[in-house]
Amino acid sequence: MKESRHNSSILAFQQKRGKDSVAFFLPFLGPDMTVLDIGCGPGTITAALASVVANVIGLDLEPKAIEAAKQLARGCERANLSFIEADMTALPFDSDTVDAVFFHAVLYHQSQEVLTRTLAEARRVLKPGGLLATRDADAGGNVLYPESQGLCTALDLWQRWYEHADPEAPRFGRRQASVLRAHGFVPIWSGASYVNHSEDAFARNETVADARRSLLGLGSELVTKGLAEDAEIQAALAAWDCWGSDPDSVYFRCRCECVARKTDQLDTSGRPGV
Ligand SMILES: C[S@@+](CC[C@H](N)C(=O)[O-])C[C@H]1O[C@@H](n2cnc3c(N)ncnc32)[C@H](O)[C@@H]1O
């Protein structure tokens, strides 16, 4: 039986992912803060932030994402949670007005130009000493079992896609602190955690569905650009289906995390409360 994407088990699954995604940032946040979740997508992470700060605003360029996020917000009935459609390279906020900004899975696939403009905007809207947190992928840290040839091909196809624009993109996660430092922030904490994409049959189904959407979405461009053969894409799709039906399969995706502060003083001891 096909399940609706809006049923309660999907909501519970997304809420847990949302909470896990912000966990590293929570010790740095306070109840009086205003936080921007930039590139918020469907808003599940934004909603998790709303339970710990005074005001949280999710922002995304995609109208459909904002529509989904607003629907989620109506279900949450949280007065301190709102969403706006906007471009992160031109934030519709006054300078020095925001306590913290959060980027989850947003910065790693941006061009250098967009990255620089986005971080400059984040820096502009942050109050002096304001916080910036990022959590992003690093292809070098993923754990997959069984490592079939088809799954290795699938990971390689994604790597080829991201590498063709920027050879360093697939390993963005480990470079976050250095990227932030180069854009006027002082990193104060770095870490990493895993997202378990195989905790049960439900999670495996979601993982396979995401992988299929992604491979089918990128497939024709990969072939057109000469980065892949159609047979490789078909092999990768079949391998994900096989992985999804194996009760012992695992996929732990590495997420690198960094918290940095907008400051002119290069004081790297600025842990929470310091
Ligand atoms: C991979 S999704 C991550 C969504 C969400 N942060 C999460 O982790 O669930 C990246 C998001 O960044 C948004 N995005 C990309 N470019 C943007 C821009 N210039 N301004 C605002 N949002 C942007 C996309 O629309 C997309 O929703």
**Nearest alpha carbon, ligand 1 atom 9:** 41
Residue 105 Cα to ligand 1 midpoint, Å, equals 7
Residue 39 Cα to ligand 1 midpoint, Å, equals 3
Pocket of ligand 1 (CB under 6 A): 39-41, 45, 60-62, 65, 87-89, 104-106
**Nearest alpha carbon, ligand 1 atom 24:** 39
From the CA of 87, give the closest atom in ligand 1: 20
Query: What is the residue whose two structure tokens read 């929470």?
Result: 272
With a CB cutoff of 8 Å and minimum separation 6, the contacts of 34 are: 53, 54, 55, 56, 57, 97, 98, 99, 100
Residue 174 Cα to ligand 1 midpoint, Å, equals 20
CB 80 within 8 A of CB 53: yes
From the CA of 17, give the closest atom in ligand 1: 9
What per-residue confidence (pLDDT) applies to 130? 98
CB 137 within 8 A of CB 252: no
Residue 31 Cα to ligand 1 midpoint, Å, equals 25
CB 89 within 8 A of CB 118: yes
CB 237 within 8 A of CB 157: no
Specify the higher pLDDT residue, 5 or 165. Answer: 165
Residue 269 Cα to ligand 1 midpoint, Å, equals 31
Q: Which is nearest to 192 in space by CA: 147, 143, 153?
A: 143
Show the tokens assigned to 19: 């909470």
Task: Tell me the pLDDT tens digit for each residue of 110-136.
Answer: 999 999 999 999 999 999 999 999 999
Average pLDDT over residues 135-140: 93
pTM flag (> 0.95) = no
What per-residue confidence (pLDDT) applies to 267? 43
Average pLDDT over residues 22-34: 97
What per-residue confidence (pLDDT) applies to 7? 62
